[in-house]
Amino acid sequence: MHNQLHQHFKTLFHTHQYRFRAGHSTEHAILENIDSITTKMENGNTALHILLDLAKAFDTIDHSL
C-alpha cells in the first residue's frame, strides 16, 4: 500500500517541484534556472523568471481556528 500511495503522489508533483522530493534540492532548482536563462539568451530570446515565496502568507492565518 505504501508503494502504491508513493507512486500515486509522485505523479501529482510537477517535474519542476524540488521541495519535498527525495534527490531534489535547491541546488537543482538553481542550476535548472541558470541553464534555462543561458539557453534562452544564447538563442536570442528573453528570459523571465518569476519566483514567489508564499511562506509569509500563512503567517496571517489564525491557526487557532
| 62 phi and psi angles, rounded to 5 deg | -80, 100
Select the more confidently predicted residue: 63 or 3. 3
What pTM was estimated for this model as a whole?
0.51
CA separation for the pair 4, 57 (Å, rounded):
33
CA separation for the pair 11, 17 (Å, rounded):
11
* Residues composing the chain: 65
pLDDT, one tens digit per residue, over 18-59 is: 666 777 778 888 888 899 899 999 999 988 878 777 777 777
- C-alpha torsion 5→27→50→47, nearest 10: -120
Residue 55 C-alpha cell reads as: 511562506
